[in-house]
Chains A and B, each alone.
Chain A
Amino acid sequence: MKRSLLPLGGIALVLLLWEVAGRRLGDALLAPPSAVIVQFVPQLFDGSVLPVLADSLRQMLIGFGLAYAFGVPAGVLMARSRTFDALAHPWLSMGIVTSIAALVPLFILMFGTGFSFRVSIVFFAAVWFVALTVYQGARGIDPRWLEVGRAFEAGPLQSFWKIMLPALCPYLIIAARIGVLHAIRAMVVAETFVVVGYGALIHNSGLSVSTAPLLGLLLVLMALGALATWILRRASSWIAPWYQERASA
């Protein structure tokens, strides 16, 4: 009982500090939580925020879906084939360290600022992390399992479906979680840069006198990240309950 109160206490303390600091600094510098609620909640439901967010999310999910569909097989291939690993690993290392913001001007030249631009930015942000996570998972598969499969005369396809895929389950979930976080970040980077969608809301609210709407928009993003993580945690306990422990680590 006492333990479960502590996190709430921490959040309450931070909210309190924020409220006090906000009242001192004023709305223009840091709006206190009370002002955020009063000013932002009506805005949230008057239809100027949620449809935009839904639209941005749709594009983000398409980009993420592509990244996932591409990253998972690439990760497995890299882990199981030495040649492919040698070919692709330098690119993976480079992709991981490449800043998404640096890619934005390039992608604008290549794709314009529309749908394909946003989707490809999200794709490029997420695909490396998906591939890397799956790669690490697939490398960790105990070779003895595959030998058992071979002893039972499982072909390559069978050993993939029946041995590797179940063994990969927790990593597939982790990959999705890391990938989604990076996809959301990339979405915000891309949209803030070209001032469209949800990023445009953030950009424009930065210009307004009060910081309350801006903070509200940030809180929505925060909730979004938490929601995505929560859904994937639930999914992992549903799809692969036997890996519950490792997936939550």
Chain B
Amino acid sequence: MVWEAIARRLPHIVLPPPSIVLVRLAQDLLSGKLVVALLGSLEALVLGLALTIVIGVPLGFALGRNRTLAEMFDPVLNALYAIPPVAFVPFLVIWFGLHLPARIALVFLMSVFEVTVAVSVGAREVNPRLIDVGRSFGARGFELTRKVVFPAALPFVFAGVRIGLVRAINGTITAELFFAAINLGAIMNEDATRFDTAGLLTVIVLLALLGLAAQAAFARLEARIVPWHLRPAA
């Protein structure tokens, strides 16, 4: 409401009112322009996130269950985490060029730390009594990890991946703007050169909705897979 009221007084180039943005969003979705771009963007998102899960989750478990490893690499992880991912962009250009591999790499970099840290906290916090029970039933090593530690830490894995997912969406659009402009990033660039603020806001709103929808969908999935753990509302 405040936005609508303020925006009606300003010229539309500066800040278009939400009514215009919503109409535009519906138009562009129906015409397929945004849908095509969105599907294109999802490619880097899905591949990057998959890479994050494949690397971040086992790494998190290793750090969470092994104190020596944790003490050795916690400072390194924290230090890397403190670097803004976008600062890696020139580096990624040198290594991966400007196209899909670079985008995947940025998505990966932006999401992997969150997932690793969350999973390692989860694996560390597993109730020792559960592990004792497993031991007394003769579970050892890998079996213990698979049957006791993994299910017990699963809620943390989900929490980590949920945050990672939002960060990955973030990384996707960042990559499309900072490397060769493509998909949604290209639409934003075009809109920007045409002073089309409504178009820009349309993409931003779409991305925000995508993030919220992904989070909600993920919460559902979590409720189905780990019904024993009721996560307190964030």
* Interface of A toward B, CB cutoff 8 Å: 3, 6-7, 9-11, 13-14, 28-29, 93-94, 96-106, 108-110, 181, 184-185, 187-189, 192-193, 202-203, 205-207, 211, 214-215, 217-218, 221-222, 224-226, 229
* Chain B 45-68 per-residue mask, 1 if CB under 8 angstroms from chain A, else 0: 000000000000000000000001
Given contacts A11-B76, A109-B200, A218-B88, 14 further A-B pairs with CB under 8 A are A6-B72, A10-B75, A96-B166, A97-B170, A101-B177, A109-B192, A110-B15, A185-B85, A189-B174, A202-B89, A214-B90, A218-B91, A225-B82, A226-B79
Q: How far is the CA of A211 from the CA of B92 in the complex (A)?
A: 11
Cross-interface CB contact of A99 among B78, B82, B207, B212, cutoff 8 Å: B207
Closest to B171 in A: A99
B87 CB-CB contact with A under 8 Å: yes
Number of A-B contacts (CB under 8 A): 136
Q: How far is the CA of A100 from the CA of B167 in the complex (A)?
A: 11
Q: Which of B172-212 contact A (CB under 8 A)?
A: 173-174, 177-178, 188-189, 191-192, 195, 197, 200-201, 203-204, 207-208, 211-212
Residues in B with CB closer than 8 Å to A214 are 90-91
**B208 and A97 contacting across the interface, CB-CB below 8 Å:** yes
> Do A222 and B166 contact each other (CB < 8 Å), given the known contacts A6-B72, A205-B90, A211-B91?
no
Tally of chain B residues near chain A (CB < 8 A): 48
Residue contacts A-B, CB under 8 angstroms, 16 given: A11-B75, A98-B204, A98-B207, A98-B208, A100-B170, A101-B174, A102-B173, A188-B87, A193-B178, A202-B89, A206-B89, A206-B94, A211-B91, A221-B82, A222-B80, A224-B82
Residues in A with CB closer than 8 Å to B89 are 192, 202, 206
Residues in A with CB closer than 8 Å to B200 are 105-106, 109
Residues in B with CB closer than 8 Å to A109 are 13-14, 192, 195, 197, 200
Cross-interface CB contact of B87 among A11, A96, A192, cutoff 8 Å: A192
**A97 and B166 contacting across the interface, CB-CB below 8 Å:** yes
**A28 and B178 contacting across the interface, CB-CB below 8 Å:** no
Residues in B with CB closer than 8 Å to A110 are 14-15, 197
Closest to B106 in A: A101
